[in-house]
Amino acid sequence: MARSSSAKKKKQQQQQKQLSAWRFLFGGCLMGGGGGGGAAGSGGSKVRPRPRPTAAAKQSSSPAGGLLQQRLSVTDVMSTCSDQDLSVSLVGSNLQVFTVGELKAATQGFVDSNFLGEGGFGPVYRGAVAEGAKPGLPAQQIAVKLWDPEGTQGHKEWLSEVIFLGQLRHPNLVKLVGYCSEEEHRLLVYEYMPKGSLENHLFKKFPPVLSWSTRLNIAVGAAKGLAFLHDAEKPVIYRDFKTSNILLNPEYEAKLSDFGLAKDGPEGDDTHVSTRVMGTHGYAAPEYILTGHLTAKSDVYSFGVVLLEILSGRRAVDKARPSRERHLVEHMRAWLKDPQKLGRVMDPALEGAYPAAAAHRAALVAYRCLSGSPKSRPDMSRVVEDLEPLLAVTGDGDGDGDAAAAQEEAARKEERARRSRGEARANLWGVHHCTIFTVSMMIY
């Protein structure tokens, strides 16, 4: 009994510590109280923004440059704040709090000509803020994401985006400039990424075709972003890693966006996070689909899918293809470990302009990431270690890719010739056997 009481007391102290940290970093929560109203994402009630505190929290000086001191998790926020009337104000994050009117002006009233695309949260529009529009905010182009009440995401996803990107900083994560929480409106404001998504460049034929070196650089950047999340003091599982969530800056450097489905990873003795299965068909790890057990290795599997898409130029799921080719991983994974089959994997749009040795090593990384056993998959830090040296391997347009393709074609021709010789021998034996049988009948 004494041990049980001690454990209970320790748990209460830990919860109180989390609550104190939350109150220190954030502006606090309005629990119920006058004015009424509920969470905007769950029934149409309203969230009323509070003025931002003027005090600034201390920031960590970690080499990664990425975390506020004592980063809070979404679990901390949800467990200490009421969903009924929540006001989020990140102290020390340098996030700007916008009004709906300011964002309408920035996007010219969300005019169609500024429309960039749409996801599960809602449509995204291009905009611009002028110098001096907000204290401390330089003039810049922005991307504004609006919450669509009819979409698949809502207030919790909006909150996750603000909590994670409000505290995380890394060159391979998209920068959250600010947010808006006004009445029923939920908006997110990001740095503008002029080259759009990797999905558009791979599958929607945006000119020019991405070169081998550009594709590999994008893969390395995305891997670094995931490794940063997984290796943080409070680990983060991205949960929705896919080509449409990898945005590209003017130098085609990758930045991960859309943290609405991200989850705090397991800590201490916990091996996984149990959660409702969410994500995108074709990218989710098989064990996560079956059990709902989410780990960092779930992200590693998704990275393997994206790396295979980068290599092959094919979508993870493509219903326009023959049935045996619709699911990319099922169709191509076995080929990834065989250098003789590299030509079957690589995107024909590259026209053989890639160093075969480097491409094969990248294919092996994808093969390991796509293992059916989570324990057999590498950590993302190891993926970075394996892929980054390949950037120094030159060979675009030097014929290495052509040689690999020619070798593969020669192998296919030899296989066809072998089968043809086998069929000829079978036919000859059949004729010979038939002749002997006919002569025997005549003698009889």
Q: Report, as residue numbers or ranges, the catalytic residues.
A: 240
Closest CA to 120 of 68, 174, 60, 188: 188
Q: Which one, of 214, 98, 222, 121, lies nearest residue 170 by Cα?
A: 222
Instruction: State how far the Cα of 317 lies from the Cα of 326, in Å rounded to an integer.
Output: 6
For residue 115, what are the β-bridge partners? 125
**Distance between CA atoms of 90 and 329, rounded to whole angstroms?**
41
For the chain, what percentages of helix, strand and coil (3-state, to nearest 5) are there?
Answer: 45, 15, 40
DSSP per position, 13-67: HHHHHHHHHHHHHB-----S-TT----GGGTS--B-PPPPPS----B---TT--B
Q: What are the residues facing 145 on neighbouring strands?
A: 124, 188
Please say whether the dihedral angle defined by the alpha carbons of residues 247, 267, 65 and 128, taken in this order, is positive or negative.
positive
Indicate the burial class of 3 (C-beta count within 10 angstroms; 0-12, 13-18, 19 or more). Answer: exposed
Q: Which two tokens stand for residue 245?
A: 């969530």
> What DSSP state is assigned to residue 135?
T
Sign of CA dihedral 106, 112, 118, 122: positive
Cβ distance 377 to 369 under 8 Å? Answer: yes
Alpha-carbon gap, residue 378 to 430, rounded angstroms = 54
Structure tokens, 197 = 């998504």
CA distance 182 to 37: 13
CA distance 443 to 284: 71
Decide: 190 and 142 in contact? Cβ < 8 Å.
yes
